[in-house]
């Protein structure tokens, strides 16, 4: 005869209550052989989509291209592309990473302490999805696999 319930019935980890969904965010920046050069939270693109939809059906005369946050985002991407072209010896890649807030905080803590290599390692290990920007005529997946590695920079001494 059993007088007690099994432990699994008391274990909160096995609860049937639904868990709160984790809010994921996109981050972007430049990574190179010396680690992360930048790590920036991406603006909310849903607003841009809604504004463009309203513009397309004639309800609004404003397109998302005129929004300040989209202008800033596009400006940053253009500057990143120029920086990558100017420093090809460092094997730079513009990345976009989908991350949980706790993982993004760990990356930011590493950058704040000056450990850019560990910041990149956390992005590579903990991202739910990683996208690499096109357009430089290089095999970006191969570049991404090589970094971080300061020995790849011929100017590094």
For residue 111, give its domain range: 22-152
Structure confidence by residue, pLDDT tens digits, 109-128: 999 999 999 999 999 999 99
- Number of structural domains (the chain) is 1
- Which pLDDT band, with edges at 50, 70 and 90, does 3 fall under? very low
CB atoms under 10 Å from CB of 39, counted, come to: 23
Residue 1 confidence (pLDDT) above 60: no
Residue 144 lies in a domain: yes
Residue 66 lies in a domain: yes
State the average pLDDT for the chain: 84
Residue 7 lies in a domain: no
pTM of the full predicted structure? Answer: 0.77
Residue 145 lies in a domain: yes
Residue 148 lies in a domain: yes
Residue 111 lies in a domain: yes
Q: Which candidate, 60, 24, 16, 59, places its Cα nearest to that of 42?
A: 24
Residue 87 DSSP code: T
Q: Which candidate, 49, 136, 157, places its Cα nearest to that of 87?
A: 136
Structure confidence by residue, pLDDT tens digits, 17-46: 556 778 999 999 999 999 999 999 998 877
Residue 41 lies in a domain: yes
Residue 87 lies in a domain: yes
Q: Report whether 150 contacts 138 (CB < 8 A).
A: no
- Which pLDDT band, with edges at 50, 70 and 90, does 157 fall under? low
Residue 13 confidence (pLDDT) above 60: no
CA of 142: how far to CAs of 114, 138, 146, in Å? 26, 9, 6
Region 63-76: mean pLDDT is 83
């Amino acid at each position: 005869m059993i007088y007690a319930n099994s432990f699994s019935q008391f274990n909160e980890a096995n609860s049937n209550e639904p868990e709160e969904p984790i809010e994921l965010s996109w981050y972007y920046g430049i990574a190179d052989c010396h680690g992360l050069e930048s790590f920036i939270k991406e603006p909310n693109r849903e607003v841009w989509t809604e504004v463009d939809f309203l513009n397309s059906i004639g309800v609004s005369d404003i397109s998302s291209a005129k929004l300040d946050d989209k202008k800033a985002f596009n400006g940053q991407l253009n500057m990143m592309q120029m920086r990558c072209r100017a420093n090809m010896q460092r094997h730079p890649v513009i990345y976009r990473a989908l991350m949980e807030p706790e993982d993004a905080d760990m990356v930011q803590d590493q950058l704040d302490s000056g450990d850019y290599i560990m910041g990149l390692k956390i992005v590579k290990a903990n991202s739910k999805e990683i996208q690499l920007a096109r357009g430089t005529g290089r095999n970006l997946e191969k570049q991404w696999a090589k970094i971080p590695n300061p020995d790849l920079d011929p100017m590094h001494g």
